[in-house]
Amino acid sequence: DRFGLPSTGSTANTAAALVANEVLQRKDTKTGYDFDSPFFRRWVEVNTLPDIGMVPSPLGTNSES
């Protein structure tokens, strides 16, 4: 909901594949997943958030805010 992703099998399958490839880690929180690498997380934010109309947080701030 937060990022406008559909709750479909393709979204779940993508997340499962990223966990299997150790790109994402499963969390026991509301968000459900987190990146293993803060550098890759930032790359994803900068390169994908504008596609869904969101602006990446400035460097040095918590992107979870």
Tell me if the pTM is above 0.95. Answer: no
Three-state SS across the chain?
CCCCCCCCHHHHHHHHHHHHCCCEEECCCCCCEEECCHHHHHHHHHHHHHHHCCCCCCCCCCCCC
More confidently predicted of 25 and 61:
25
pLDDT attached to residue 25: 87
pLDDT in tens, 9-54: 777 788 888 889 888 888 876 667 888 888 888 888 888 888 878 8
pLDDT computed for residue 28 by the predictor: 72
